């Protein structure tokens, strides 16, 4: 069946794409480093932690071994669930964007490296969780946290509900979104309002600066139509 949409399913990142979650994540990381009696990186350094899997950052950015990573993750999770998850705001017009996809025929899955529990709590906090057909994130044990693995799980869940996966697209704000979807042959659209640094969207099929541009790319009517 032909549709007016260029894509048949939408995979949508969370941090830096739907919500500005950097304040809560950075504050939680600071409190984690304090609790572990480690030097606290600067805000600018910690901003680079927003988006990638947290264990990856503990390993690659803080140089932690497996045991240290496990302890840091335990401290971070408790701090984040208690407070940090709610120290975030919806990016302008993204709530309506999600709602309008939900009202369209396009199947919608979250695809975030944040574990599913805090991701779901955030979507519920902003009353947009019900617009998603599937909510996919990292597993509780972080075994599934790389974006390619999250995308793989999102595709499995979308297929299980009968979604047409002939032309899916990923929408995100970091290189992990671009590369994670590319691992499955899925194109990605980069959004410039997130946390990407120069060059992260070199292999995206498009980069948008506004939600209006994003709506046009995926075939949604303008918000004021």
pLDDT in tens, 161-215: 999 999 999 999 999 999 999 999 999 999 999 999 999 999 999 999 999 999 9
Structure tokens at 148: 């390619």
Q: What is the mean pLDDT of the chain?
A: 93
Contact 56, 73 (CB under 8 A): no
**Secondary structure element (H or E) that encloses residue 89, with its range:** strand 89-90
Pairing of strands 206-208, 188-191: parallel
Superfamily, domain 22-86: Putative phosphatase; domain 2 (1.10.150.240)
Provide the residue ranges of all domains of the chain, joining segments of one domain with +.
9-20+89-218, 22-86
Structure tokens at 101: 């996809």
Question: Could you give the 3-state DSSP secondary structure of residue 83?
Answer: coil
If we measure between CA atoms, which residue out of 200, 223, 12, 214 comes closest to residue 112? 12
pLDDT of amino acid 98: 98
pLDDT in tens, 42-67: 999 999 898 888 888 999 999 999 99
Cα–Cα dist 9/170, whole Å: 9
**Greater confidence, 50 or 12?**
12
If we measure between CA atoms, which residue out of 23, 54, 20, 45 comes closest to residue 191? 20
Mean pLDDT of 151-168: 98
Question: Which string of DSSP letters, residue by residue, matches 134-199?
Answer: EEEEE-TTSSS-SHHHHHHHHHHHHHHTT---SSEEEEESSHHHHHHHHTTT--EEEETTSSPPTT
Architecture of domain 9-20+89-218: 3-Layer(aba) Sandwich (3.40)
Q: Is the pLDDT confidence value at 225 over 70? A: no
pLDDT of amino acid 40: 96
Q: At CB < 8 A and 24+ separation, what contacts does 70-73 make?
A: 71/36, 72/32, 72/36, 73/142
Contact 90, 133 (CB under 8 A): no
Q: Is the pLDDT confidence value at 2 over 60? A: no
Least confident window among 50-54, 69-73, 121-125, 183-187: 50-54
Work out the percent of the chain whose per-residue pLDDT is above 70.
98
């Amino acid at each position: 069946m032909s549709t007016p949409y260029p894509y048949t399913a939408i995979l949508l990142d969370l941090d830096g794409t739907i919500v500005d979650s950097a304040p809560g994540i950075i504050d939680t990381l600071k409190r984690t480093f304090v609790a572990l009696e480690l030097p606290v990186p600067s805000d600018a350094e910690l901003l680079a932690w927003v988006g990638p899997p947290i264990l990856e950052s503990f390993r690659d950015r803080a140089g932690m071994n497996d045991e240290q990573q496990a302890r840091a993750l335990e401290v971070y999770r408790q701090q984040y669930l208690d407070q940090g998850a709610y120290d975030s705001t919806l990016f302008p017009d993204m709530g309506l964007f999600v709602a309008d996809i939900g009202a369209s025929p396009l199947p919608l899955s979250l695809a975030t490296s944040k574990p599913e529990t805090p991701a779901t709590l955030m979507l519920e906090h902003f009353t947009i969780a019900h617009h998603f057909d599937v909510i996919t994130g990292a597993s509780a044990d972080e075994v599934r946290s790389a974006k390619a693995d999250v995308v793989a799980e999102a595709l499995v869940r979308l297929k299980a509900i009968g979604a047409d996966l002939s032309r899916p697209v990923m929408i995100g704000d970091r290189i992990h979104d671009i590369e994670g979807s590319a691992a499955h042959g899925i194109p990605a659209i980069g959004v410039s309002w997130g946390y990407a640094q120069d060059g992260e969207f070199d292999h995206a099929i498009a980069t948008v600066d506004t939600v209006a541009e994003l709506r046009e790319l995926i075939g949604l009517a303008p918000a004021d139509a």
